[in-house]
């Protein structure tokens, strides 16, 4: 397994809309290795979700594990949210926007249909942190970041703060 580089805001590649995964690709050992590498990268970061778009692979899949023990890995291939209910405000962060957190309003409960790691069709009713994480990662697959929910002024402040942090890290 290998750690993958995570794209960071404002990298324009994060705005690429992901294309569906051909179900025939799922059994490919290279695809399965990529899933393993994404889990390793996510756990190392540390994070609870990682969309393929964040590692410069613009296909519709993501990995998630919201468990405290990091022992409940979930793979969502070609996910589609078929139902949303309720509303919650949750403070989100993102591996592509390091060190920044902001309140985002999302559906409280969702139903998502997807293919799992083995290519099997699944349907999951999710709420709480898992529902938020699924919606957050699915935004990445659409070329959207959580900072897009912020005002233009706050988004520009985030951009400047990250640029300053990069300059300091390079010095």
Q: Which residues are annotated as a binding site for Fe cation?
A: 94, 136, 140
Q: Strands 97-106 and 61-64: what pairing?
A: unpaired
Q: Is the dihedral of CA 29, 117, 48, 97 positive or negative?
A: positive
Catalytic, out of 68, 113, 137, 156 = 137
Whether residue 137 lies in the annotated active site:
yes
Residues tagged in the binding site annotation: 94, 136, 140
Q: What whole-number distance in Å separates Cα of residue 85 and Cα of residue 110?
A: 6
Active site residues: 137
């Amino acid at each position: 397994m290998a750690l993958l580089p995570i794209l960071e805001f404002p990298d324009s590649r994060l705005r690429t809309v992901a294309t569906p995964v051909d179900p025939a690709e799922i059994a490919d050992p290279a695809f399965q290795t990529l899933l393993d590498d994404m889990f390793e990268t996510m756990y190392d970061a540390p994070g609870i979700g990682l969309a393929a778009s964040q590692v410069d692979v613009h296909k519709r899949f993501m990995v998630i594990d919201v468990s405290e023990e990091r022992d409940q890995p979930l793979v969502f291939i070609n996910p589609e949210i078929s139902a949303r209910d309720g509303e919650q405000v949750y403070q989100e962060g993102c591996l592509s926007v390091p060190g920044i957190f902001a309140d985002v309003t999302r559906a409280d409960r969702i139903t998502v249909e997807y293919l799992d790691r083995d290519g099997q069709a699944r349907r999951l009713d999710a709420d709480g942190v898992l529902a938020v994480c699924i919606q957050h990662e699915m935004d990445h697959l659409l070329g959207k970041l959580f900072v897009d929910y912020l005002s233009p002024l706050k988004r520009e402040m985030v951009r400047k703060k990250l640029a300053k942090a990069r300059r300091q890290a390079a010095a």
